[in-house]
Structure 1
Amino acid sequence: MITDPALAPTRFLDSDTPALRDFALESAGKGSDRDRAVRLYRAVRDGIRYDPYSFRVNPRIFVASHCLTAPSAFCVPKAILLSAAARAAGIPARVGFADVRNHLSSPKLSAMMGSDVFRWHGYSLLQIDGKWVKATPAFDIGLCDRFGVHPLDFDGTEDSIYHPYDTAGRRHMEYVSEVGVFDEFPFDRFAADMRRHYPAMLARLEELDRTNARAEDSAFSGTA
């Protein structure tokens, strides 16, 4: 029985599932905890495409094994996946959250959110050689290349957090405040904050999902 909460499987960090164990074994490889953590970080960063429009307040999408098979994800599921994969590899891990202001957020996304502050931006905390370090696997390298953003790397010894400026010297990411660090993803608290801060965006996304569901039902029944 695992007694360390930073190594134990949970509802969302389901590190004991075969899918997570296989992913961790294949991606981490052999070597020191630092080397294996770096490989896991890159596998999650670049293996799961970042898409802010995949955002939903649905508990299913925050389960690590679901993120592993999803076509894309935003920062929170990707951080949960990295932390769960680290636990599956025997590396103590937690999930952390901060409110950040994205100075390069697209007008479309800012308008939908009603804000340029991304609340509960997710990152991982990994314990390597007795030290807790932050790792942010959100933006895949393909996205960074397209938008002129420095890709975040992780060396297993220092914190890997968003750059304040992009490659052209423009202001990029500003950390506004820390939310907290957790052994398990606090979905209820997260969902309550999302509904309080982004009610219009959630209503729009829910309507979009209903419209898509109706279209799929019509296509399936042959009435479209």
Structure 2
Amino acid sequence: MVVGSVYIAKPEEEKRRTRVNTMRKMFLIYFLLICGCTFSPPPDKGTVRSENVKSIESTLESSCPEYKPIKGTTFDFIVKCKGIGGYNLIYSHGLLFDKLSLLTSKGEEVSLDLWAKIDDPSHPEVSSVAEWRVIKKPEEVDPIALIVSASASSPGTHDGQGPFYYVVIKLTKSASCITDFVDRNSYNSSKLARELADSSQNKPCLFQNPK
């Protein structure tokens, strides 16, 4: 029906349009449910798809082969523990503190300042397990990041009740360095550490000249 220059739809036409629109929406929903289609934004640059990344653990123990003699140091032992994909870890343990360095496939030793987030660490220690985030290929694994746990005691004690962190280290051809710290007491801390590790490739190093 037309009144002046304005068209007013009849009630029957409005009902028909409503039915058509409803059917279109129902068909779209049905189609999405049947084909299982999902839509998600593209991953951030530098993020590896999580389904392509797996974790492999290695150990840090006194039983690892000796790396350097301890004479003239404050350490009880300095050992080289086997890592993944050509990387190894130099683990130095002493009464006063632990130290961890990364030995690259090129033989370069990178010192890791695991306790930089702790103002006054007392008896800093590194846990006995290292977690490597890797992309598995048919005949090899490609490490992209390393996660280790670092802790300290309360000031002036050896009570082990001080700060406790996951430390995320990116592994690239151009640089291997710390990119993130995650408080282990926070919610879903291990999951968050893995997510940060998987997106660490293009992140800047927190420390350009680690101690």
Which bracket does the TM-score occupy, shorter chain normalised?
under 0.3
| Larger CA Rg, structure 1 vs 2 | 2
Task: Identify the structure with the greater helix proportion.
Answer: 1
- With a CA cutoff of 8 Å and minimum separation of 6, indicate the structure with the bigger relative contact order: 1
Q: TM-score, normalised by structure 1?
A: 0.27
Task: Identify the structure with the greater strand proportion.
Answer: 2
Q: TM-score, normalised by structure 2?
A: 0.28
